[in-house]
Amino acid sequence: MSNSGIGVSHAAGLRAGAWVEVRSAEEILATLDEHGCLDALPFMPEMLQYCGKKFRVYKSAHKACDTIKDWRTMRRMANAVHLEGTRCDGSAHGGCQAACLLFWKQMWLKPGSPESNGGPTDVTSETLGAAGNGTARCDPAKLARATRVPSAEREDSEDRYSCQATQHVMATTPIRWWDIRHYAEDIASRNVRLRDFVRHATTRAFITAFQSVIRLNWRGRRSPQFPMVRGLAADKTPVEVLDLKVGELVQVRAKDEIMRTINSGQKNRGLRYDEEMLPYCNKVHRVLQRVERIIDDRSGKMLSIKGSCIILDGVVCSGNHSSNRLFCPRSIYPYWREIWLKRVESTERSGQV
C-alpha cells in the first residue's frame, strides 16, 4: 500500500504527538473489502464512534508483539498508528473486556489539529463516488457480521469472534531477528526518545549477554532468571479477596511479596505474572476495571476468567523489560490478581496518582 493518495506518512508529520482527524464512516467504509478489512486489518464497529473526531497519535504501529503464533517474534504492520484514548470497548464482540488499543490505518485518517474544523478531504473522487452510490464493498451490516467467524469455518458450534487482535497475524509480517530497521523506525516515528532507546537497548543487551553466560555455565541445570521473577509458591497458589471496585486506589505489592504467591510457572491460579509488571511494584494506581471475559487471540473463543482479575489505570506493558517485546507499542493491559495488590485509603495517597 502506497503512502500516496489519502494515506499520511511520517514525512507528512504523522509521528507520535501529531494531530489527526478520523475520517467519516462513509469514507472509511469505501476503503474496506467485503469483510470489513484494509490490508487484512479489520475496521471494527467499535471504531465508528470515533469517526469525525480529532486525536493525537499515541505511537506508530509499525511493529507489535505476536500474541498468537510465536511470542518470540515481533511483527511488522504497514501504514498504521495507535491514537490516544482509542481502545476497543468490546460492545460488538460479546462484551470482551480486554480493552485493546486500536490499530488505525493511515488511510482512515487525515491531518488535523485541535483547533481546526478538519479541512477538506483528499479522498479520491472515485472512492467517494462509490460510497455515495452505495457501491462500496462494505457497509455497517457487513461490519457487524464480520465480528463473528462464519459457522462453516468453525470446528464446533461455539461462537468464535474476529477482531484486530485475532487477525493480527494476517495483517502483519514477521520481523526477522537480524532485521534492526524497526528500531530506527522507533526513533524516527518518535515512539521512543533517543535517550530512552539507548538506556533500554543497552540494558537488554547486557541482560542477553548475562543470560548467555549463565546458560553456558549451568550446563542444563535450572538457571536463575533475570530480571528475577521466580515463583516460590506451591502448585496450589494462595488466594486473597479484596472485592476491589472501579476507582479505588491500590498499591502494587513489593516484588518479594508477589513472588510468594506465584508458582514455578510464574502463575497464580492460571494467571501469569509477567516481568513487564515489575516496574509497577510499590506504586499506587486506580482500579480501572474488573475483567471477567476476554476473547482468546488464538481461537477467537470467549474466555471466562475465574477469580479476581483487575486492570489498573495507566498500567500497560511497555515492552522495555522483556526479551522479545522491546519497544512494542501495543500497550496491552496486564492482568492483576487481588493478592498482588493492597487497598489504599485515598486520604493517605492524595496527589500521588
Q: What percent of the chain has pLDDT over 70?
A: 79
Q: What is the pLDDT of residue 194?
A: 83
- Non-local CB neighbours of 294 within 8 Å, separated by 6+ positions: 96, 97, 98, 302, 303, 305
* pLDDT class of 116 with cuts at 50, 70, 90: low
pLDDT of 229 reads 75
Average pLDDT, the chain: 84
Alpha carbon of 302 to those of 92, 212, 273, 296, 297: distances in Å?
Answer: 13, 39, 21, 6, 9
Q: How far is CA 182 from CA 185, 324, 331, in A?
A: 5, 13, 17
Q: Give 178 or 341, the one with higher predicted confidence.
A: 341
Considering only residues 275 and 144, tell me which one the structure prediction assigns the higher pLDDT: 144
Alpha helices (H) in the chain, listed in sequence order = 25-29, 125-132, 140-145, 181-188, 194-218, 255-259
The single-letter DSSP state of residue 153 is G
Highest mean pLDDT of the ranges 70-74, 125-129, 135-139, 248-252: 248-252
User: What's the whole-number mean pLDDT along residues 108-128?
Assistant: 60
- How much is the pLDDT for 127? 43
C-alpha 214/C-alpha 210 separation (Å) is 6
Kindly state the average pLDDT of the residues 338-345. Answer: 94
**Residue 35 — pLDDT band, cuts 50, 70, 90?**
very high
Give the model's pLDDT for residue 303.
96
- The C-alpha cell 482527524 sits at 21
- Confidence band, pLDDT 50/70/90 cuts, at residue 128: very low
CA 343 to mean position of chain CA atoms: 27
- Overall fold of domain 230-343: SH3 type barrels. (2.30.30)
74 close to 64: Cβ distance less than 8 angstroms:
yes
Asked whether residue 32 carries a pLDDT value surpassing 80, the answer given is yes
Q: Are 44 and 164 in contact (CB under 8 A)?
A: yes
> Where is pLDDT greater, at 338 or 347?
338
In the chain, list all ranges with CATH 2.30.30: 230-343
pLDDT the model gives residue 216: 56
pLDDT over threshold 80, residue 68 = yes
| Amino acid 113: pLDDT | 78
Sign of CA dihedral 89, 94, 96, 100: negative
Choose the weakest-confidence range: 39-43, 130-134, 253-257, 320-324: 130-134
